[in-house]
Amino acid sequence: MSTVELSGITKTYGGTAVVDGLDLTLPDGSLTVLVGPSGCGKSTTLRITAGLETADGGTVRIDGRDVTGAAPRERDVAMVFQNYALYPQLSVAGNIAFPLRNAGVGKAEAAQRARAAAVRVGIEDLLTRKPRQLSGGQQQRVAIARALVRTPSVFLFDEPLSNLDAKLRVELRSEIRRLQQELGITALYVTHDQEEAMTIADQLVVLNAGRIAQRGTPDELYRTPADTFVAGFIGSPGTNLVDGTARDGVFEVDGLSWPVPAAVAGAVTFGVRPEDLIVAPDADGHARVDLVELLGPRYVVIVKVGERRLTAVIEASVVAAWPAVPQPGDRVRVQVRPGREHLFDAATGARL
């Protein structure tokens, strides 16, 4: 187990800072997940940690050792890629054992350790097969076993599940989390999938334009986003963000009138998560239903207030108590669950 410290990491391409003075600590035995939009610097940060790219500035330390100029093989890290990166000519056993054989481990010991790693990820019955004979999920399990077999100090995962279907992603992300916790290995994980990130992270880090917008537990980022960027990025569907004016304890815009703390005044951005937006049938309501989607146990209902669209997530059991399932064009009233609003400075986007 090791603590990883990234200090002042900077990487520039063509005059643009892809990573801009990033400071980040991965606590010993934790799983840190980097999320953010395309081009925000998350994969570059991972590759700098691995030694696959060289930072223009800053230092990388693993377990207190400065590895900034060290080659990947000298960092004691193992990386799992999006595209599996298996050797097609080798069997499953050969692929798993490859890093051991490359390091000079004897054939018998390498085979034994490869089998043990295969057992951990549930592919011990596939050891004689070639990669082309495996499904995508099985190939990724081979890649994970190959990373496990070395018992590295740090695991690095670069969007390892993005090529898999939804069911396999859920299954494998649970396996990755179980293995990481069982082995207590420090891990850095990059993904664009917010649900994946929220599910497995000890520490969730949101990047924006090469800088950390916010870090903390998934619950902290979900409940208290630091700014409008984090509020809009974390959560699916995303947070409703409405610009308006607050005065005398009321936020108003386009016929909406929602309570806010009396101390809040002036131009603000009002944020409300879809599950905290209360929609109810009302023939005199100021909003109209625009779109209704059934997602199993809940409905996603998009309403329009003037030209403004707001998204609500409503439990099917609640809708069942209505006179009928809402239809486009139906009038509704829209309220906010008390105390669940998020208020931001309209000019800076910072949380108030």
Q: Are 250 and 260 in contact (CB under 8 A)?
A: yes
pLDDT tens-place string over residues 287-339: 999 999 999 899 999 999 988 999 999 999 999 999 999 999 999 999 999 99
Do residues 332 and 286 both lie within one domain? yes
pLDDT value of position 269: 97
Q: What pTM does this model have?
A: 0.91
Do residues 161 and 208 both lie within one domain? yes
Report if residue 252 sits inside a domain.
yes
Report if residue 164 sits inside a domain.
yes
Q: Find the domain containing 128 and state its range.
A: 4-231
Do residues 32 and 175 both lie within one domain? yes
- Conformation bin of residue 306: beta by default, left when phi > 0, alpha when psi is -120 to 50: left
Do residues 225 and 241 both lie within one domain? no
Report if residue 351 sits inside a domain.
no
Taking the mean position of all CA atoms in its chain, how far away is CA 207? 10
Do residues 209 and 248 both lie within one domain? no
Contacts of 325 (CB under 8 A, 6+ apart): 292, 299, 319
**Is pLDDT of 1 > 70?**
no
- Domain limit, last residue, from 198, 231, 264: 231
pLDDT value of position 32: 98
Do residues 225 and 127 both lie within one domain? yes
pLDDT tens-place string over residues 74-132: 999 999 988 888 999 999 999 999 999 988 999 999 999 999 999 989 999 999 999 99
pLDDT value of position 166: 85
- Domain limit, last residue, from 216, 231, 246: 231
Peptide bond into 259 cis (omega under 30): no
Do residues 85 and 169 both lie within one domain? yes
pLDDT value of position 31: 98
Contacts of 109 (CB under 8 A, 6+ apart): 100
Q: How many domains does the chain have?
A: 2
Report if residue 73 sits inside a domain.
yes
Six token digits for residue 18: 């892809």
pLDDT tens-place string over residues 225-245: 999 999 999 998 999 999 999
Do residues 227 and 310 both lie within one domain? no
Do residues 103 and 124 both lie within one domain? yes
Interatomic CA distance for residues 331 and 78, integer angstroms: 56
Report if residue 352 sits inside a domain.
no
Encode the chain in three state secondary structure: CCCEEEEEEEEEECCEEEEEEEEEEECCCCEEEEECCCCCCHHHHHHHHHCCCCCCEEEEEECCEECCCCCHHHCCEEEECCCCCCCCCCCHHHHHHHHHHHCCCCHHHHHHHHHHHHHHCCCHHHCCCCHHHCCHHHHHHHHHHHHHCCCCCEEEEECCCCCCCHHHHHHHHHHHHHHHHHHCCEEEEECCCHHHHHHHCCEEEEEECCEEEEEECHHHHHHCCCEHHHHHHCCCCCCEEEEEEEECCEEEECCEEEECCCCCCEEEEEEECHHHEEEEECCCCCEEEEEEEEECCEEEEEEEECCEEEEEEEEHHHHCCCCCCCCCCCEEEEEECCCCCEEEECCCCEEC
Buried b / exposed e over 156-173, threshold 16 CB at 10 Å, is bbbbbbeebeeebbeebb
- Domain limit, last residue, from 182, 199, 231: 231
Give Rg (Cα) of the chain: 24
pLDDT tens-place string over residues 7-53: 999 999 998 999 999 999 999 999 999 999 999 999 999 999 999 99
Please compute the mean of the pLDDT values over residues 148-154 and round it to a whole number: 89
User: How crowded is residue 249: how many other Cβ atoms within 10 Å of its Cβ?
Assistant: 12
Do residues 253 and 220 both lie within one domain? no
Report if residue 96 sits inside a domain.
yes
CATH number of the domain residue 133 falls in: 3.40.50.300
CATH number of the domain residue 262 falls in: 2.40.50.140
Report if residue 350 sits inside a domain.
no
pLDDT value of position 256: 86
Report if residue 326 sits inside a domain.
yes
Do residues 161 and 241 both lie within one domain? no
Do residues 48 and 131 both lie within one domain? yes
Interatomic CA distance for residues 1 and 184, integer angstroms: 7
